[in-house]
Amino acid sequence: MKKITVLCHTVKVSPRRSNPQTRSALVDIAARLLSDEGPQALSARRVAAEAGSSTMAVYTNFGGMSGLVHDMVYEGFARLETYFSHVGRTADPVADMVLFGRAYRHNALTNPHLYAVMFGGASLAGFSLTAEDRQYGRYTLTNVVECATRCIEAGRFRTGDAELVAHQMWTAIHGLVTLELGHYLIDPCNADVVFEAQLTGLVVGVGDTLEAATRSVKASRRRLKKEVQSTRPGPSVEEEPASARRS
């Protein structure tokens, strides 16, 4: 009896909808707080208050703080993919590969707190990636695998597994970026110095010659500004750091 009533009304009634402005305000405010003040600034009460709502808005729109952060993180993956999509496909596949490394680092430096959740295993407002999330986020790696294939076919890298080569690049650049964001790399071996040496070392390690590698690394450095740093993937989840990291 009661069940029939519910079925009839489910089809026909379109009750109150959530205010779309509230949802986007919550995301924008959360992003700003994270960028300006870091993870501890992110609380349901703080975000809701600045949006002029109660904390219930976080629950109805996102299911809770975890849902809000989840959305932010997926936007972070999309941003990385956008940066990668702007890396050109040139006659020098090794330079392209190195530019992917630069794009990866640029993304992390632009959104450090999000990066820590995306790839650093960090937890934010109680949210940690699920296994599914993690494997989803790896889709950006296909760009690197495809580029490694081109490097192998061009004879610059040893014949071998392109996916494995891509993993070597990824894990190494991830390590440098993580330590950089954590302020572990100081003069004389600061982050820029180590990064440049590592880019060369990585491609030589998988088969390139030192001379060719040096040229490709240099060429990729010249392309950085135009192909990567000029990219605006959308309203910045986290603002560009106030101090320029590149002299």
206 is a contact residue toward a second copy (CB under 8 A): yes
Give the residues lining the site for DNA (CB under 7 A): 5-6, 9-10, 12-19, 22, 42-46, 48, 53-61, 64-66, 125-126
Beta-ladder partners of 127? 124
Q: Which of 50, 71, 82, 174 binds a second copy (CB under 8 A)?
A: 174
DSSP symbols for 37-72: H-GGG--HHHHHHHTTS-THHHHHHHSSHHHHHHHH
Binding-site partner at residue 56 among a second copy, DNA, none, CB < 5 to 8 Å by type? DNA
Binding-site partner at residue 87 among a second copy, DNA, none, CB < 5 to 8 Å by type? none
Q: Tell me the backbone φ, ψ of residue 178, rounded to 5 degrees.
A: -65, -45
x-marked contacts with a second copy along 132-161 as a string, rule CB under 8 A: --xx--x-------------------x--x
Q: Which of 167, 212, 219, 236 binds a second copy (CB under 8 A)?
A: 167
Per DSSP, 155 falls in state T
- The CA distances from residue 227 to 8, 103, 224, 236, in Å, are 56, 9, 6, 17
d(CA 143, CA 33): 31
User: Are the C-beta atoms of residues 1 and 32 closer than 8 Å to each other?
Assistant: no
Tokens of 98: 């190195």
Q: To the nearest whole angstrom, how small is the minimum distance from the Cβ of residue 52 to DNA?
A: 7
186 is a contact residue toward a second copy (CB under 8 A): yes
Binding-site partner at residue 231 among a second copy, DNA, none, CB < 5 to 8 Å by type? none
To the nearest 10 degrees (0 to 180), the angle between helices 141-153 and 93-110 is: 160
- The CA distances from residue 145 to 60, 152, 162, 187, in Å, are 40, 11, 6, 33
The helix (H) or strand (E) run that includes residue 6 is helix 2-12
Tokens of 78: 């999309």
Q: Which of 86, 146, 149, 205 binds a second copy (CB under 8 A)?
A: 205
215 is a contact residue toward a second copy (CB under 8 A): no
x-marked contacts with a second copy along 55-94 as a string, rule CB under 8 A: ----------------------------------------
Tokens of 83: 């940066």
Task: Between 41 and 172, name the residue whose CB sits nearer to DNA.
Answer: 41
Binding-site partner at residue 200 among DNA, a second copy, none, CB < 5 to 8 Å by type? a second copy
Tokens of 186: 């100081």
User: Are the C-beta atoms of residues 38 and 80 closer than 8 Å to each other?
Assistant: no
Binding-site partner at residue 42 among a second copy, DNA, none, CB < 5 to 8 Å by type? DNA
Task: Between 107 and 231, name the residue whose CB sits nearer to a second copy.
Answer: 107
Positions that interact with a second copy (CB under 8 A)? 39, 116, 119-123, 131, 134-135, 138, 158, 161, 163-164, 167-168, 170-179, 181-186, 188-189, 193-194, 197-198, 200-206, 210
